[in-house]
Structures are given as structure tokens and as C-alpha cells.
Amino acid sequence: MARTGRPRAFDKDEALERALLLFWSRGYGETSVQDLVDALALERGSLYGAFGDKRQFYLAAVRLYWDTYERRLLAALEAGPVLPALREVLTHPARAQEYASDVGVPQGCMIGNTTAELVPQDDEAREIVARSHARFTRIVADALRRAQAGGEVTQAATPEAQAQLLLFTVQGLSLVSRAGLDTSAALAAVDALIDALRA
Amino acid sequence: MARTGRPRAFDKDEALERALLLFWSRGYGETSVQDLVDALALERGSLYGAFGDKRQFYLAAVRLYWDTYERRLLAALEAGPVLPALREVLTHPARAQEYASDVGVPQGCMIGNTTAELVPQDDEAREIVARSHARFTRIVADALRRAQAGGEVTQAATPEAQAQLLLFTVQGLSLVSRAGLDTSAALAAVDALIDALRA
DNA sequence: CGGCTTTTTGTGCGAGCGGTCAAAAAGTCC
DNA sequence: GGACTTTTTGACCGCTCGCACAAAAAGCCG
């Protein structure tokens, strides 16, 4: 099934990445199709032809966001002690805040943003978000299970409960940080949680 | 300065409360002025006359939301042991989920929703949100300080750090719960946190 | 009762939105 | 080189949005 016809003049993956940054920093509703057209330097028709409508485009960007995040999460947890890695994972959105003085720099976690903006009314978005939550807790719970067995993490709670608590904390930290964060206070809170997990 | 003129035909506070429920359940962007007009059973002109534009109307609703929340928070923490009260405070959004099968029932914490939807672009919203965060952590930290002194809560971390962690957790829980929550898993996570705070 | 002030009522408006479409352009394959 | 297929281009459409406004209505006060 060899494809013929005029070849696409832009890189689809690169366009999706750019769109991801735009959607991430402005959200779904505040990003107009015109904004995308301007930022991606392509015409409306090309965009619709390549990605379908705005909603599908956004959801594709969210999927790309999560895939990237999951890869980094796995890499951070796969080797070495778990607690320092988790501290890094939790702290990441807090320190991303430092760059946020620049215009257009993404704010918060895109999964969290999507949860707030689309989930109540969009079943497909809900599925993506719920799946991301499930994968996060599963990956983290697996790491915590190993760390409990190795004596690094307390067995006062199940790995699943601890992982769920960590999900709440990342999402909460990432959300609260949008309103301007006292970085040292946030770090102290994260440290308090990490300490509480220590065996 | 006695006021004269035609008296207002509706109760302003009651209208604000109704608007709060609508804004809470649908968010700012998804609630149109027409929706408000329909739900409040008044005409556009009356609405603009009484509350200014849509943004001011929304911000007034958020302020009302926070004032109500703060009152309940203070009441819950002012007497008795702190940890059970905190467990209640954290659990509240999780159990509110049970009612969410009904249409139009508010979802999540309105401060959190506002953070996600308006804060990046609206300085006035950011102020309201930041102020709410500050008051939450102050109130909770005060309660934790008392509880640390009374031997109920561990002194492994400062009351401020613990309060900040609780803020992250409430906000995260409230956000994540929008995507459909495994209630028992959420309760286990909250219990794990409460246990970790115990002296 | 008549002037004054405020609210009510309903229409109307300009702007911006997401999305469509037909013609032109640019490749591939026989 | 000519038929075919796909993408590009840019104009265009209908809709909904937040908001303004003018006339009518309703109460207070001298």
C-alpha cells in the first residue's frame, strides 16, 4: 500500500511537540486554533488534515506528554535508592517554577491541567487521565514494594496507599505551584513526606 | 445617604450562591452568561447591574466559596483532637464524589479549579488563590502546633511543613477525584498520611 | 401627585471562535 | 509526460460569546 500524492511539508512529530508546549502553557480553552496556526507556521487546512479537530489534537498532545513523563519516571526509579528518586520526582514541578518567569513556559502538570479543564465533560480525556493515574501509582507502588523489601521504606502502609498519597502530592504540588510558590516551604513539605516514608 | 429608586427584585446573596454552584460545577469558561441568566431566572441587564462583568461575578463566587470553607475548617479544628478532624477535612472531597453521579453537582475544590483555569492569566484570581492557600496553611499549622505541644502529632517536621504537605494533599486529592476515584484507595492514602503525622 | 432614581427587560452588536471547502500545487507511478 | 493522489492555501461560514443600551417599570420623597 505505497502512499503517493504531495508529500507533507512539515514534520508531524515536531508540530505535535510545539503544540504540546502551547497547550501546556495556555490550556485547551485559551489556546485558539489561530494561535496554533501562528505558532506552528502552517495553515488551518494542513492542521485539520493532519490531526483532525482541535480536541483530538489536544488529546494527542496529552498522550505525548504522558508517554514522555512515564519514560522519565521509569528511568528515575529503575535503579538506585527509591526515596531520593521520589524526592526528585516530587520536586520537579516545584523547580520548574523557577523558569516560569519566562513567557509561555508551561505551568504545572499537563495531566492535572487536563483533569481540571476537560475531564468533567469529556470521556476520552477522562480515560487518558485515569490511565495516567493508574500507571503512575502502579509504577511507584512497584518501586516502593522493592524499597520496602530492601528496608529503605517503612512498612507502616501498603505500597499502593503510599503511591496513591504520592500521586495526590505531586498533583497538588503541581497545581498549587501555579499560584506562585514559596519554594523553600514546598521543599520542606516534600522532605517531611519523604522522611515519613523512611523505614 | 438613603437609597431610593426601584428596589431590586431578587435576593443578591441568593443569586450569588446559585451562581457559585453553577460556576463550581462547570468552571468559568464553560459557564456562559446565558447559562447564568437561565439558572438565576433574571435578565442580563440585572446581572450586569448587580455584579459587574462575568469575571467579577466569578471572583465574587470564589470569595464566597473560600469564606464558607474557611469557616468550616476553623470550626472543625477548634476543638477536640486534631488528627481526626484533619482526616475529615482531607476526606471531604473524596466523599463528595459519591454525590457526583447527579448532574450538575460541583466537582473538586473550587480554589483548585480556579488555580487551574484562571491563575496563569488573571492576577486578581491569583491573589485570591494565594491568599486562600496562605490562610489554609496558617490555620492548619496553628492546629498542628497545638497538637505537637499536646503530644498528638509528631515533631519530626515543623507544623508549617506539615500544613503545606496537607495543602498539597487536599488539592491533589480534590483534583484527582474528578477523574473518578477508587474511594477505598484514596482513604487508605489519607490514612497513611494521618498515621505518619501521629506522634 | 409629580419628579427623581434605580432596576428591569429585551434587543442588538462586534468580535472571535472552531471548522469547511474548492482550487492550486507538488509529488508518485505507469 | 500525463493521470492520479495528497497536501497546501486562504477565503469563508455559521455560531456563540460577553457586553452595551434604550425604553419601560417601580418604588421613594417632598
pLDDT per position as a tens digit, B25-51? 899 999 999 999 999 888 898 899 889
User: Does the predicted TM-score (pTM) go above 0.85?
Assistant: yes
DSSP chain B: ----SSPPSS-HHHHHHHHHHHHHHH-STTS-HHHHHHHHT--HHHHHHHH-SHHHHHHHHHHHHHHHHHHHHHHHHSSS-HHHHHHHHHHHHHHHGGGGGSTT---S-HHHHHHHHTTTT-HHHHHHHHHHHHHHHHHHHHHHHHHHHTTSB--SS-HHHHHHHHHHHHHHHHHHGGG---HHHHHHHHHHHHHHHB-
Which CA distances in Å does B51 have to A2, A174, B59?
62, 32, 10
Query: pLDDT category, B94, cuts 50, 70, 90?
Result: very low
Task: Establish whether the CB of B1 is closer than 7 Å to any nucleic acid atom in strand D.
Answer: no
Q: Is the CB of B103 inside 8 Å of chain A's CB atoms? A: no
Q: What is the mean pLDDT of the segment spanning B63-72?
A: 94
pLDDT at B121: 86
3-state class (DSSP) for residue A24: helix
B-chain residues near A29 (CB < 8 A): 29, 117
Q: Is the CB of B105 inside 8 Å of chain A's CB atoms? A: no
Q: Which of A140-144, B21-25, B101-105, B113-117 has the lowest mean pLDDT?
A: B101-105
Q: Quick count: other Cβ atoms within 10 Å of Cβ B15?
A: 21
Q: CB of B160 within 8 A of CB of B141?
A: yes
Task: Establish whether the CB of A37 is closer than 7 Å to any nucleic acid atom in strand D.
Answer: no
Please report, rounded to whole angstroms, the spatial distance between the CA atom of protein residue B47 and the C1' atom of nucleotide D1. 70
pLDDT per position as a tens digit, A90-107? 987 645 544 444 445 667
Query: pLDDT category, A120, cuts 50, 70, 90?
Result: confident
